[in-house]
Structure formats: structure tokens, C-alpha cells
Chains A and B, each alone.
Chain A
């Protein structure tokens, strides 16, 4: 599965991996806003920002081509709308949409590939995102592949009993979903029991927020200034 790749990349030890999650989140937002709000000189801006991301990926020792392929997940949607835009007589706009959404996805890949998800969620928590939501997201990610595997087993079992894969009859599929629901519900209760058994008192203990060091500040300043300056320069002179 694709996720394993991202998770493996995120356990790297480069200087970019070691930067504080908050610094990377802010830099990502600056990058995305600089790209999203641009209306002039898009090709030049896109080229410059693309090189910036490539430099970051190389610095983090992440395979650039594989990361680019990973970001390509965003393309089908973008391509559909680019085509729609083209049919509707606005080809240039369609191309811009595709480029902007692809670069944005690549930027997200760069951050997620250099920051383990728990660290990212912890960073968001110190940035005032509701803790309740983040804890739900943490559990969701923890059990995502466990439940998915159960779902796949069930689909396989149904296929083995005659329903050709992917074409279960409607009722059978609904029954399978209901069973998967019940199992997930049971698992949640078991998890809750396991938490209580180890003294859970209504608050998940969190790791202390990592220290935001001087190198994080330097990184934050340069990583946010770079896309902003590129953007300003192109707006002025292009």
C-alpha cells in the first residue's frame, strides 16, 4: 500500500526530518497560499516552486521521482476539471488548475514524508487545533489499516464463496458492511477496555511538546521567505 512508503520516508534522519513539525506546517501554509493566490506569471512561479520542492526532497534524501508519482494521486480530479474547463472554452485556466493542484499536493507530500504523523498531529495541537479532533484522527490512523484489512478479508471470503470479486450482490455487500461495522464497534469497546485496564482517566497522556530551537526558527524563516520572495519578485518584474 502507498501509505507504507510515506510512513517509511517519514522515519528518515535528515536535517529536514529533524525540524520541528510546527515550522514545517507554517512553511507549508505559506507555500500553499503563495501558490493559491497567484494570478500572474504562473508558469515561472510554478517552475521556481517546483525546483524549491525538489531541493527540499533531495535535502531530505527522499527519492524525488517516487515522491512526484505519489503527488500524482491528485491529478485525476485536476485533469477532469481541466478537461471540463477546456470543453467550456477556457483551456489556459484548466492548465493552471492542474499545475496548481499538483504542486500543492507535492508540497504536502514533502512535509508528510519528512514528519511522522503523530508528530504532525502533536504540532497541530500546540497550534490550537481541537485536541478532541486530533485524538480521533490519531485513532483513525492507528486503526485504518487494521479495519481495512478486515474489510479485504471479508471481500475475499465472499469472493471465495462465489460472488465474483467486486461484484457482490447488493444485499451481500450491505451485510458485509454491517458485519464490518459491528466488528469495528466491538474493537472500539475492546480498545476502551484496554485503556481503562491501564488506568485511563479520560485524558490521553501526550508527549511533551518538542522544543522549538534556533535551527527550527532559521528553517522557518528561510522556508517561508523563499516562496514568498519568489512570488513577490515575479509579481513585480515578470
Chain B
């Protein structure tokens, strides 16, 4: 079975800094959902930004069998949809509909078709009623849904979500988890929210100092690193 994403020995450093990624190897299989866990600053977001070429380091990245290169950047960016942590930065167009139609319009689709596609994506996330509104006035949960619609509109095969539960209250988090569980795409989810990861992901990888130090079922990784609020467990580990 061909993996959707195959990353080999990826290394990257920000200008003049110590390496932010240090020899990362990673693989994503079709229909799989993987949680990216690990401390702040361990390289999770930097890693995700490499998957569609927003950053590029040494090593190789393959998406849907294509090597990530300048010439197939546009194609790869359609295959993998990136949902940023702060929806406010992602929803940059004046109205919800224009924002969701941004990717289809950029891919050269004619206007009518692009708007139709955007409306369909909004329906998927149950936000079609907000089409004419300004993103600024939406709630955090609504913003996240619209941001996901903006990604779905380009018909991706992989969704990469960076801290999707930030700014969401528990019912909002639950609703988001239900929405994501219904989407057929393979997912990469960067999160500190263990409940969210357990609900959605079958597998977890653990980042530390720019590299993946462990992988396995979510529960196993969580208990191994004491990665939840149960303090006694982390104590017993020492």
C-alpha cells in the first residue's frame, strides 16, 4: 500500500538557529489519523509547514507519491489542506463565501463553479447560513468550521490541523471532533488535547527536540510520556 505521506530524514534550521527539525522520518497511510504530540517548541508545527512546502529543509518529502518540488507545489498544495491554529489569520477575505472560494478560484476554476463548490463545502461544515457574513464577527467555533470548509473546497486527500481545539470551549471541541470524524480524509492533528487525540486518532507520534522519539497507539504514547493531567502517573514514571 502506497503511503500518502513519506518523509525521510528531514532536517531544518531557522536562520542561524539550532536545528528545529533533526532527521525526522514519518509515514502517513491512507484513511489514517495520526496525532502529533510533544512539548512546545519541539518542532511539530515546523514539521507540518514542511508537508506542503511552506518551509523546506534537507531530506525528502513525498505526498501522494509525488516528490515535493517547486514544479508540483501547486498540485501538492491541493492534495494536502493545512488548517492553521489561529483561524483569524486563515480567514483573510472580506466575506465567508469569498474566503472559502479562494482556493478554487486560485486553481483557475470559473467563478460560478468555484462558488458552488464553496457553498457545498460550507454545507459540509454546516455553515452555509454564514456565507455573506464577515469572518471577524463569527465565534471561535464557527471560524474553525469555515477555515476547514476553505480547505475542503480544494478537495484535499489529507488534512493537517495545527492545534484545532485552541480557543474552543468543550462543546465546541466535541462538535469539531464529530465533524472531523465524519470527514473521509486522512488526518494529521497537532494537539495538546489528549481527549481530542484519543477520540480521533489511531496512532500518535511524539516529538522531542526536533525529532520523533516514539510512535504507537495514542494511549500507549500518552502513558509512556505522562502526557496528560494525571499527575500521579507522571510521578510514578520517575
Contact = CB atoms under 8 A, between A and B. Distances in A.
Interface of A: 7, 11, 116-118, 138-139, 141-142, 145-146, 187, 190-191, 193-201, 205, 207-208
Contacts of B114: 205
B32 to A, nearest CB: 21
A197 B82 CA distance: 7
B79 to A, nearest CB: 11
A208 B111 contact: yes
Contacts of B77: 196-199
A199 B111 contact: no
Contacts of B158: none
Interface of A is mostly: helix
A139 to B, nearest CB: 7
A198 B136 contact: no
Contact of B106 (A11, A145, A200): A200
Nearest to B105: A205
A196 to B, nearest CB: 6
A118 B136 contact: no
B136 A145 contact: yes
A142 B54 contact: no
Interface stretch (B84-92, B176-184, B208-216, B228-236): B84-92
A132 B52 CA distance: 27
6 contacts: A116-B94, A117-B94, A139-B92, A197-B81, A197-B82, A198-B154
A193 B94 contact: no
Given A142-B92, A198-B103, 20 more contacts: A11-B132, A118-B94, A187-B86, A190-B89, A191-B89, A193-B49, A193-B84, A194-B84, A194-B89, A194-B90, A195-B102, A197-B54, A197-B77, A197-B82, A198-B77, A198-B102, A198-B151, A199-B154, A205-B106, A207-B98
Interface residues of B, number: 33
Interface string B111-145: 10010000000000000000010111000000000
Given A118-B94, A193-B49, A199 B88 contact: no
Interface of B is mostly: helix
B150 A198 contact: yes
Contacts of B106: 198-201, 205
A142 B103 contact: no
Interface string B48-83: 010010100000000000000000001001100110
Contacts of B7: none
Considering the complex of A and B, which 3 residue pairs feature the smallest CB-CB distances, nearest first? A205-B105, A199-B106, A118-B94
Contacts, number: 70
B204 interface: no
Contacts of B86: 187, 190
A116 B105 CA distance: 22
B40 interface: no
Contact of A142 (B74, B94, B102): B94
A7 B132 CA distance: 12
Contacts of A195: 92, 102
A193 B162 CA distance: 13
Contacts of A199: 74, 77-78, 103, 106-107, 154
Contacts of B46: none
B39 to A, nearest CB: 21
A116 B96 CA distance: 14
Given A196-B54, A199-B106, A205-B101, A187 B89 contact: yes
Contacts of A190: 84, 86, 89
B95 interface: yes
B154 A193 contact: no
B185 to A, nearest CB: 15
B52 A197 contact: yes
Contacts of A205: 101-102, 105-106, 114
Contacts of A198: 77, 102-103, 106, 150-151, 154
Contacts of B134: 7
Q: Indicate the member of B49, B82, B136 with the most A CB atoms within 10 Å.
A: B136
Contacts of B135: 142
Given A193-B54, A195-B92, A199-B106, A146 B84 contact: no
B78 A146 contact: no
Nearest to B153: A198
Contacts of B98: 118, 207
A8 to B, nearest CB: 9
